[in-house]
Chains A and B, each alone.
Chain A
Amino acid sequence: MNFLAPGFLVAASAAALGVVALHFIVTRRPRSVVFPTARFVPDVPVTARARSLQLADLVLLAVRVLIILFAGAALARPIFPPQRERIARVIAADVSGSVADVGETRDSVRALFRPGDAIVLFDTATRPVTTPDSVGARSRTATAGSLSAGLVGALRAGSRVRDGADSVELVVVSPATIAEQDRATTEIRAQWPGRGRLVRVSAAAATDSTISRADSHTAQLDFLSAARPRFAVLRNRIDTSARWSPMATSSSRHLNAAGASSRTRCLTHE
């Protein structure tokens, strides 16, 4: 809780201290009552013993102090910032036949996943799940998946998680082969408003066999070209025009399109 005008709170605290002080300092006058036989009361100076504190006095004091403090707190304009995560993730995990090993995808998703994130499994269709363990739980199709379908599912999932976070990051865990892309892929991904990155996993040999290494690399660049300036990709090869920056990832080892093992890096286009 923060206060926009904390001076009022300080002033109220000072006033409350004053009330407490006055409560103990004030001299009480006896109540005045009508008494027909007052003439028989001896007309002498009266000294009455000071009254000891009674519970009623303390309750009265507490009520007075609380009223002042509440009034001061109200004038200080308190604000309660909402409880929001800084970044939420939508993880679009490819479980189609384009992936060589679904276990690798599951490991990547498991390492990326945090509570509050959304997971969307896609092949030719999308299916939202709640835990990384659901990745690969079902039998997968032998055909290549559709990145467009995965991105559409990610957009839908993003609309669900965006209220609980300052920004939403899209993480696509996929080999991102050409077979998985179509003419709508770049258009759909261009609709993603936030940050995004691609975590590449190994492509199935059968699916990627018709694609040369150069084609594979071009496909990845096509995939990135539609991204917003802050879209990043994790891969083993880099574009010479991009700037490297180290980034910790869940998986220490990823396979490129040709099946070569390498260390994972984060590339950020700026």
Chain B
Amino acid sequence: MRRAPHDEDRDRLLYGALLDAVRGLRWRARRVSRIAVPGIHPSRVRGSSAEFTEYRPYRQGDDLRRIDWKLFARSDRAHVRISEERAVTPTYLVLDASASMAFPDGDGSKWSLARQLAVALSSVAHSGGDPVGLMVAGNPRATIPPRTRRGIVAEVIEKVTALPATGSSPLTPALTVAARSASRIAIISDFLGDLDDTLRVVRELVVSGRDVHALHIIAAEELDPSRSVSLVTDPESSDVRRYLADSVRDGYVRAYREWREATAARWLASGAAYRTVIAGEEPVSHSVRRVVRDEPTRSRAG
């Protein structure tokens, strides 16, 4: 669907201000990279760069050019000079575009916040020299493979603004595809879909050395629903229709808080970095800073 010109102008202003706000941020990898391509993140690959780390006794098969001949002359033993390498961290942003993200209506929706987070994180990762890709888990699924080219952030903006949040697509298939070509995966979702399967895949990814970030998007209306009597319906499951009234409101608040606490505990136990972001509570750039600086979760969401 073609978007109206004034919508494009509004997005350009919105994302332009956001990109200005996150300029200069660096998103350090939480785990060493296995990629040999030079970058800014610590790498498991030992090489011959100027950043000396240690000596290791020569073993058969080592490159003779890496033997420290001065040390050999002093000690009469052959040692290989080991230096620490820096590598890039290919980053995949997995964006949940299910119908539950389109709540509430308007610019203050979870979907709007998730799109801004995706754009900002892609810009931060790209400015660190990392390849950035986007995977929109929606219907249909949209993909931008991780690239370091200059216009990649603009591609991300174009992609996320063109797609609506609809349907009930699971995160797991998108996550599996993203894991094939990324060392760092940031999942932006409300985790109201296939949470169990997602956590199972995430545990496997963490074990395999991937750096996984989970950004839990929450709407303020979900934390503090209206006190008027209403028949609430799950947008992804029409079978769930409940009456929300004052008499059951406390029960809802308690159940939702317990679920969020349990979800946070499960994410942290999986080894991923878990953050909650509440729509409208703080500027998006502040949320991005908390994510890239590995700061703890805000207290309101528990």
Contact = CB atoms under 8 A, between A and B. Distances in A.
Interface of A: 29-44, 46-48
B69 interface: no
The 6 nearest A-B residue pairs measured at CB: A35-B232, A36-B100, A46-B243, A41-B242, A42-B251, A40-B255
A35 to B, nearest CB: 4
Contacts of A33: 230-233
A39 B231 contact: no
A40 B225 contact: no
Nearest to A32: B231
Given A35-B244, A44-B251, A46-B229, 13 more contacts: A30-B229, A32-B232, A34-B233, A35-B225, A35-B233, A36-B234, A36-B235, A37-B222, A38-B242, A39-B237, A41-B242, A46-B248, A48-B247
Contacts of A47: 245, 247
Nearest to B110: A36
Contacts of B246: 48
Contacts, number: 91
B255 to A, nearest CB: 4
Given A42-B255, A46-B243, A36 B230 contact: no
Contacts of B211: none
Contacts of A48: 229, 243, 245-247
Interface in B255-302: 255-256, 259
Interface string B202-214: 0000000000000
B103 interface: yes
Contacts of A46: 229, 243-245, 247-248
Interface residues of B, number: 34
B244 A41 contact: yes
- B interface: dominant SS: mixed
Most buried by B among A29, A36, A43, A44: A36
Contacts of A36: 99-101, 103, 110, 190, 192, 219, 222, 234-236
A30 B252 contact: no
A4 B262 CA distance: 77
Most buried by B among A31, A39, A43: A39
A32 B237 CA distance: 14
A45 to B, nearest CB: 8
Interface of B: 99-101, 103, 110, 190, 192, 219, 222, 225, 228-237, 240-248, 251-252, 255-256, 259
Contacts of B190: 36
Most buried by A among B110, B229, B245: B229
Given A36-B222, A39-B240, A46-B247, A31 B259 contact: no
A29 B241 CA distance: 14
A46 B248 CA distance: 8
Given A46-B245, A46-B248, A47-B247, A39 B234 contact: yes
B233 A40 contact: no
B256 A37 contact: yes
Given A40-B259, A41-B244, A32 B192 contact: no
B252 A42 contact: yes
Nearest to A29: B231
Nearest to B249: A41
B36 to A, nearest CB: 43
11 contacts: A31-B230, A33-B232, A34-B103, A34-B233, A36-B110, A39-B192, A39-B234, A41-B242, A42-B248, A44-B251, A48-B247
A44 B228 CA distance: 17
A67 to B, nearest CB: 28
Contacts of B247: 46-48
B100 A41 contact: no
Contacts of B236: 36
A136 B103 CA distance: 95
A40 B233 CA distance: 11
Contacts of A40: 252, 255-256, 259
Contacts of A42: 242, 248, 251-252, 255
Contact of A34 (B192, B228, B235): B235
A42 B228 CA distance: 16
Contacts of A31: 228, 230-231
Contacts of A35: 103, 222, 225, 230, 232-234, 244
B232 A38 contact: yes
B230 A38 contact: no
